[in-house]
Amino acid sequence: MKVFRNKRFIFIFKHLTSLCFLLFSISIYAQDSIKTTIDTVAKKKQFLPEGLLILPAVSYSPETEFTIGAAILYNFTLGKDKSIRQSNARLLTIYTSLKQTIIEGRWDLFTKHENYIIRGRTFYHKYPDRNYGLGNNASAFIQAYKNQHPKAKEFNYIDYETKRLHFSFTFMRKLLKNLYGGLDYEFESLYDYRNLNSYMIVHTPELFNNPVIGKRSGLGAIFTYDTRDHTINTYKGYSIELRNRNYTKFLGSDFEFSSLDLDFRMFFTTWKKQVFAFNFRSQNKFAKTVEEIPIRALARMGGADFVKGYFFGTYQDLNLMAFQSEYRIPIVKFPKFPIKGLGAALLFNGGRAFNGFDEFSLKNIRFTLGGGLRILMDAEDRVNIGLDYSFGLHKKSDLNKAQSGFYFTIGETF
């Protein structure tokens, strides 16, 4: 297949293989040391609290090139009731070879008897982005000049950079067994816009009428039915979540619109603890005109969190229906090594953006295929490092070729 002859993929594959070999070699080398010191260590107080992991965050992607940083993951139980699901908090700090900065925190808290669920996310990004314009075709056409280069390069997106501040918070109370309801809030501000092209000619201006910078602030209701056995790495159960937000000037928003999102997730164990995972999402935005919604608030797919293989926002519009599926396969365990096991995952995803429901059809669904490695760092808390490569099957998603991406994640994508 052509995609595997791509020089970037070969470059990534070589470095990924080297990284995995290095991690495995460290585990083998550490075995003798572990055996001789395990009794002594058991008698001493742990250096880090139980459930706390500090991991290097090293990866590569077309958007950031090389990244280096640290990820901190803390799994814990609120109170003494061990029958409830574990709470967790994650902190990620990254600096990239393109001089980009990412600082991000997330948390999922389960109180006594799981009577309340509290979730949140906050981040600061100084980060490049791409605006592919509206639609399901990625059909924009831009001629851009960079660094005073006399010859124009052709793209199907506008390359830009902003600073972003984000805060979202969800508070839910148990209504019935496994059923929760509550309030959901989001605030995001994009500022310091900078076009990364010295000069450009946009041949499809009709696709680029949505604002980029500004503040959005929205509050709404959320309902969740959740039977999953774990939130970071689920083996069985399912969840369905319905969320509504209303963005108004009363809440400090520069834009007025509303959203309605559905998120369904299903997990079941098949053979020898292998897991099939499936996620379906529907995103719907409501405004007087589509141009009143800022670009990052549109219904969008792609990126590390949702439909790997396309850049986030390659397909975007008022509405979106998409799915992602994974088949997760544990391969081998190393109970006495720092790395507790290795596994693999097969990925198949797809989705479609559309303006109105009268336009929706099953034609032109944008599919992706991929696979990856799972490195088990903590067997008890089910903490994986995921290393995935995925490529889009839409041959014109990157103008005249298909997109692809390499992804580093802590925990499973969903």
* Nearest by Cα to 406 from 95, 9, 129, 5: 9
Give the model's pLDDT for residue 335.
86
* Nearest by Cα to 208 from 139, 146, 256: 139
Give the model's pLDDT for residue 47.
58
* Successive 10-residue mean pLDDT values, the chain, 414 residues: 41 44 38 34 51 80 76 88 88 86 93 94 90 92 77 88 95 96 98 88 92 96 95 93 97 97 97 95 94 94 92 94 97 89 96 90 91 92 90 89 87 88
Give the model's pLDDT for residue 97.
82
Beta bridge partners of 140: none
* Nearest by Cα to 2 from 392, 315, 313, 408: 392
Give the model's pLDDT for residue 378.
87
- Which residue's entry shows tokens 């605030």? 187
Contact 372, 348 (CB under 8 A): no
Determine the Cα–Cα distance for residues 64 and 308; give it in Å rounded to an integer.
Answer: 15
Tens digit of each residue's pLDDT (9 = 90 or more) over 100-113: 888 999 999 999 99
**Domain boundaries 2-410, corresponding CATH code:** 2.40.160.50
Give the model's pLDDT for residue 48.
66
Determine the Cα–Cα distance for residues 376 and 20; give it in Å rounded to an integer.
Answer: 12
Cα 202 → chain centroid: 30
Give the model's pLDDT for residue 149.
63
> Burial letters for 63-101: b for 16+ Cβ neighbours within 10 Å, e otherwise?
bbeebebebbbbbeeeeeeeeebbbbbbebbbbbeeebe
Structure tokens at 277: 């995972």
* Nearest by Cα to 82 from 383, 410, 380: 380
Structure tokens at 149: 């280069």
Give the model's pLDDT for residue 362.
83
* Nearest by Cα to 316 from 350, 361, 279, 355: 355
Helix (H) or strand (E) holding 36: helix 7-43
| Number of C-beta neighbours around residue 241 at 10 A | 19
Give the model's pLDDT for residue 169.
97
Give the model's pLDDT for residue 173.
97
Cα 230 → chain centroid: 18
Structure tokens at 239: 């969840």
Residues whose CB is less than 8 angstroms from the CB of residue 304 and which lie 6 or more positions away in sequence, other chains included: 405, 407, 408, 409, 413
Give the model's pLDDT for residue 62.
59
